[in-house]
Amino acid sequence: MRLRRLVLMGLFIGLSAAGAHIHIPGVLGTPALDSLAGYLGAMAFGPAFGAPVAAIRHLLTAALAGFPLTLPVHLAIAGLMAISAASTGWLWRRAGRIVAVVWGIFFNGAVEPALFIPIPGFGLAFFVSGAVQLLIASAVNVLLAATLCGALDRRGVLARWLQA
């Protein structure tokens, strides 16, 4: 990995840490504006860039909240966030922006919490109580990332970051 790319990844993780302090109120405690950098990274620089940013950012947010769902659950969620950012970034490049945005919101806001329904202690109540909050947080993060990526791309900023 080129040094420039590694430094950019560190910058995006730092942006995620800052976004981790801007929580979206609700029962889960951890949804915040921290996914923005992971999604932006995946859209702008590719899935392999955005996935670790998204995973690390979830762990930062969960740590700030005191790992309310336990460390093993938050590690699983971090893995799912990596998949979410990577797949959204892949779709951004292959299927188009609208498909990527809809997928990112749907996967992060509905599919991820639904995966916890069969786990004892979570169930349907967990899904119902958190899905709306997660959908709203996902929509804000993914839409802001898409807007920023489009604006930066139009100005040629992204290409210059990687070429210099």
Q: Indicate if the pLDDT at residue 95 is higher than 70.
A: yes
Instruction: Read off the pLDDT of each residue in 79-91 and give the average, rounded to a whole number.
Output: 97
Q: How far apart are CA 127 and CA 66, in angstroms?
A: 20
Question: What is the pTM assigned to this prediction?
Answer: 0.87
Return the C-alpha torsion angle 14, 20, 22, 25, nearest 10. Answer: 170
Q: Indicate if the pLDDT at residue 1 is higher than 60.
A: no
Q: How far apart are CA 27 and CA 118, in angstroms?
A: 20
Structure confidence at residue 139 (pLDDT)? 93
pLDDT digits (tens, 9 = 90+) for 3-54: 888 888 999 999 888 887 787 776 666 567 789 999 999 999 999 999 999 9
Structure confidence at residue 136 (pLDDT)? 87
Q: How far apart are CA 24 and CA 30, in angstroms?
A: 8
Structure confidence at residue 12 (pLDDT)? 92
User: In degrees, to the nearest 5, what angle opens at C-alpha 163 toward C-alphas 162 and 164?
Assistant: 100
Structure confidence at residue 145 (pLDDT)? 96
Q: How far apart are CA 52 and CA 13, in angstroms?
A: 9
